[in-house]
């Protein structure tokens, strides 16, 4: 008899435009991790982005090695101004961010929330 299981997973994608979409809060419940569900979820989100002709997908993560398997690469957060202006500038961890910015695809040449490139990189005053 075939077995069935309920997979608990989630992600909250955000689209800024065809120039940028973001994968946010991807999560697989702990008891179901390491069985391929996370990979399926990322593949589905990337297919969705491709379907909408999105040229760049970004994310912030603490585990870049997981995402590099999907051709995400590390960038500075200044390289993705929409994410910077949408979240980082409001974040209490603005100057103590422990997350790594990654993108897949072509870096955005435009932005809806700020200028490209960001002319003044965010550095802690007095650092």
Ligand X SMILES: CC(C)(COP(=O)(O)OP(=O)(O)OC[C@H]1O[C@@H](n2cnc3c(N)ncnc32)[C@H](O)[C@@H]1OP(=O)(O)O)[C@@H](O)C(=O)NCCC(=O)NCCS
List contacts with ligand X (CB under 6 A). 26-28, 33-39, 59, 61, 63, 65-66
- Give the nearest distance from C-beta 27 to ligand X in angstroms: 4
Q: Which is nearer to ligand X, 57 or 59 (CB)?
A: 59
Total number of residues shown for the chain? 127
Q: Which is nearer to ligand X, 31 or 119 (CB)?
A: 31
* Cβ count near 118 (within 10 Å): 17
Q: Which is nearer to ligand X, 63 or 120 (CB)?
A: 63
- Give the nearest distance from C-beta 10 to ligand X in angstroms: 9
- Give the nearest distance from C-beta 125 to ligand X in angstroms: 29
Separation of CA 117 from chain center: 19
Q: Which is nearer to ligand X, 25 or 110 (CB)?
A: 25
- Give the nearest distance from C-beta 96 to ligand X in angstroms: 18
Q: What is the DSSP string of 100-121?
A: EEEEEESPPS--SSS-SS-SS-
| Closest chain position to ligand X (CB) | 38
**Distance (Å) of CA 29 to CA 9, 20, 62, 99:** 6, 28, 17, 21
Residue 50 main-chain phi, psi, to 5 deg: -65, -40
């Amino acid at each position: 008899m075939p077995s069935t299981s309920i997979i608990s997973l989630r992600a909250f994608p955000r689209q800024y435009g065809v120039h940028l979409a973001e994968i946010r809060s991807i999560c697989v419940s702990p008891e179901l991790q390491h069985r391929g569900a996370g990979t399926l979820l990322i593949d589905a989100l990337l297919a969705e982005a491709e379907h909408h002709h999105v040229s760049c997908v970004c994310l912030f993560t603490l585990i870049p090695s997981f995402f590099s398997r999907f051709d995400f690469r590390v960038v500075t957060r200044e390289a993705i101004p929409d994410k910077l202006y949408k979240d980082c500038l409001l974040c209490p961890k603005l100057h103590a961010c422990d997350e790594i910015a990654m993108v897949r695809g072509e870096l955005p040449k435009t932005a809806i929330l700020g200028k490209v490139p960001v002319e003044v990189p965010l550095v802690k005053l007095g650092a």
